[in-house]
Structure 1
């Protein structure tokens, strides 16, 4: 059957749009390739500060293959777990081989030094921002025994439980920890913090009954919710998130104005030459926003950004202010 004019025009417009995107991507990558002759000359290593199966690990592995193809060298993932990701961040900060990068989270690139003045690296001085890859709100989760209760009712139950309830995080100083402390102050909760090496271990602790609450990335949280092992209470964004539209915001749960996001970013050591930073920024931005990778990251619970290095630097400054206020107000320390 012949296409009607409107549908034909729509298909033509879509084809032209796709060709333009491909052409622009090819031009960007070709231009980036001319800025760093001879680099990379060996395998590129992306260091992740959290265990396999964690959100940062999944993001790093999603990027590794297309980045390897674009660079013409192998890209491997190395998990260096501990200290809320700061051990891995220090490895990156101290690297001198020009082939070591890091998949970072908010805390590693913002408030890490506020949390521990003796930290072995300074996020603002020792790390080179490359690209803000993706962002997401966190999902406040609890045990499925609370099914059928409203978000307000669950928060009231947590309030009444006082310090008999515990919450888990993937480490002291992570955004999940800082965010929960902010929520405790706003909602008058007293749940006790229990740090773990990563979110997979937090989920195990919740399912095993050792924890009653946790702020988890959407991709990890909703997989357990759909399996009936956890219940989603609310998201930390100011309004409902397109990632989990069925979950109310904390504002709807009686905590107005609460707004918190986690993010993943690629960074290198501050010693990384500017042309390499520029090339990587262009590549990661294009790869993150490509339809295939965007779809994979969305399935993992991420909204793609794919920013420039300057865009990441601006986000670091904004988060340093907002997260730093919570760290100082709550007296959070990792020493």
Structure 2
């Protein structure tokens, strides 16, 4: 009888310990393990470069490690779908670009809601696209490109990182405002597109400065103009498209970090603070400036409003470009 009672007590104690184990894990202070930062584009893309700069700095604090996980495909929607469905525990994040706002209009039937399925953490940086040609190209200015395109409609082409990407829409805006006929050549990523431009197989590309400027400095690409309304502070010698003959032309690219919807506010605030510290570090600011990127931290609420404003602003451009899926 005593032996049976002892056995029951031992069994009960074991059951209580097992039941308490998950609770103990759940109550562990954040962060208790590495954080996965999904990049929905290929290695070498602007998003990838920024993710590695920021992720490395966040990992230096020793509190936790940020692991960059490239999940390219479907214009960034593949990676976004995975993160939208991930556990809202702060251990899965995504670094999105302006393409996140573009996709809200570009794809009528996404597997996620661009606004409702994510918890904005912080804007990270703004990056102008830069119009580049190969170093050996005969085109030395925006005027040269426009003149050649008008003389031979449909003969010149422009590469992009994919249909509906910021690199595509920058080119479409250029085509529409200049009143020229140039052919869009979509690739599966920025790196592949730039490779063909450098080789002379593509006539031009509106590429993120983060990806293009290293090749410009190496003498493999020639930068003709930036897409922003004003000259970039990190690229003061490169004129804007607007001042190069197309008044009113302006296209901005941006990058920011999101978590799955439902992520606790205290975790979002912790991540926002850590991102702020990383962006404030002199070496990070120097590395971003070298890529033509300007650090731009925001509060989670500011980033949420910014995304919604961008969706509204870009929707008509996408529809006019013909990039809308199904058109």
Question: What value does the CA root-mean-square deviation take over the aligned residues?
Answer: 1.9
Query: Structure 2 matches for 1:68-107, cutoff 5 A?
Result: 68-70=59-61, 72-96=63-87, 98=89, 99-107=91-99
**Which residue in the other structure is 2:176 paired with?**
185
Normalised by the size of structure 2, how large is the TM-score? 0.86
1:87-136 Cα offsets, whole Å, 9 max, x none, are: 1111111111521000110111x131211111111111111111111102
Query: Structure 2 matches for 1:144-223, cutoff 5 A?
Result: 144-146=135-137, 149-223=140-214
- How many Å separate the matches in 2 of 1:101 and 1:209? 37
2:35–2:92 contact (8 Å) kept in structure 1: yes
Q: Give the C-alpha shift of residue 82 in structure 1.
A: 1.1
**Which residue in the other structure is 1:315 paired with?**
306
**Alignment counterpart, residue 133 of structure 1, candidates 124, 127, 130:** 124
1:238–1:259 contact (8 Å) kept in structure 2: yes
Query: Structure 2 matches for 1:1-335, cutoff 5 A?
Result: 38-70=29-61, 72-96=63-87, 98=89, 99-108=91-100, 110-146=101-137, 149-335=140-326
- How many Å separate the matches in 1 of 2:127 and 2:150? 26
SS in 2 for 1:317: helix
- After superposing the two structures, state which structure 1 stretch, 112-121 or 145-154, moved more: 145-154
1:268-314 Cα offsets, whole Å, 9 max, x none, are: 11121222111111211221122221112112221011111122123
Q: Give the C-alpha shift of residue 206 in structure 1.
A: 0.9
Structure 2 unaligned segments of length 5 or more: list them: 1-26
Structure 1 unaligned segments of length 5 or more: list them: 1-35
Normalised by the size of structure 1, how large is the TM-score? 0.84
SS in 1 for 2:200: coil
2:149–2:180 contact (8 Å) kept in structure 1: yes
Q: Give the C-alpha shift of residue 148 in structure 1.
A: 7.1
**Which residue in the other structure is 1:22 paired with?**
none
- After superposing the two structures, state which structure 1 stretch, 231-240 or 99-108, moved more: 231-240
SS in 2 for 1:121: coil
1:131–1:284 contact (8 Å) kept in structure 2: yes
2:135–2:219 contact (8 Å) kept in structure 1: yes
Structure with greater Cα Rg: 2
1:146–1:154 contact (8 Å) kept in structure 2: no
Aligned length: 299
2:102–2:311 contact (8 Å) kept in structure 1: yes
